[in-house]
Amino acid sequence: MELITPISREDLERLKVGDVVYVSGEIITARDSAHVRILEYLKAKKDLPFDLEGTVIYHCGPLVKKTDEGWKVVSAGPTTSARMNAMTKELLKYVECMVVIGKGGMDIDFKGKGVYLAYTGGCGALASKAIKKVKAVHWLDLGMAEAVWVFEVEKLPCIVAIDFRGNNIYDEVRKRVEENFKRLRL
């Protein structure tokens, strides 16, 4: 299934844990410092330089180089999403529909407002091939990895890890591992 931004609630309601999806359209990157700044803006009722509603936030600190033609993404692998648990919970107070992409899972309930898509760690060069254009960059004062990059992507492959109803693939895997461990101990 292909998800094309901006994302709608109807798009998210169709997704189930384990589904393979291909994200296309505009996405933004955000790591720790960017999340902090986004929340500062939202709490101060300041306009963000990008729209969060219906967006895809990729937990990624890309490696980008400047060329004569503009910015070129060399690598765009995911970063560990669990670091953004508390900040994502806070962000959900301000949006009605969003997607988060990262690695390692999150320990949050998206409360019918979003989904979490897993992208495989160590595949940053592969992800960069899905990025067709750097549309903008915001807050470079935070550093290359922490800035908010706006990318145009085409068919970035992901797996639904937390769906709209709160089902969590990581919980399911943990449960199976615990059951197998108990069985082996007998």
Give residue-wise pLDDT tens across range 43-54.
999 999 999 999
> Are the C-beta atoms of residues 80 and 102 closer than 8 Å to each other?
yes
Apex 103 CA angle, 101 and 105, nearest 5: 90
- Cα angle: 111, vertex 55, 14; to 5 degrees: 55
Q: Under a CB-based contact definition with an 8 Å cutoff, are residues 155 and 23 in contact?
A: yes
Task: Give me the amino acid identity at 14.
Answer: R
79-83, 96-100, 140-144, 168-172: segment of lowest average pLDDT: 168-172
Average the pLDDT over each of 17-21, 32-36, 156-160, 166-170 and give the range with the smallest value: 166-170
Q: Identify the residue with better confidence: 91 or 177.
A: 91
Residues in Cβ contact with 91 at an 8 Å cutoff, skipping those fewer than 6 apart:
35, 38, 39, 42, 52, 98
Measured from the Cβ of residue 101, the count of other Cβ atoms closer than 10 Å reads 25
> pLDDT > 70: what percent of the chain?
99
Mean pLDDT of 117-133: 89
Active site residue 35: yes
CB hemisphere CA count around 169 (13 angstroms): 18
Q: Give me the pLDDT at residue 186, please.
A: 54
Regarding the domain delimited by 2-185, which CATH topology (the fold level of the hierarchy) does it fall under?
fumarase (3.20.130)
From the list 31, 35, 59, 103, the catalytic residue is 35
Q: Which residue, 82, 110, 84, is CA-closest to 97?
A: 110
Q: What percent of the chain has pLDDT over 90?
A: 83
Query: How would you class 57 by CB atoms within 10 Å of its CB: exposed for 0-12, middle for 13-18, buried for 19 or more?
Result: buried
pLDDT at 14 > cutoff 60:
yes
Cβ atoms of residues 6 and 24 within 8 Å: no
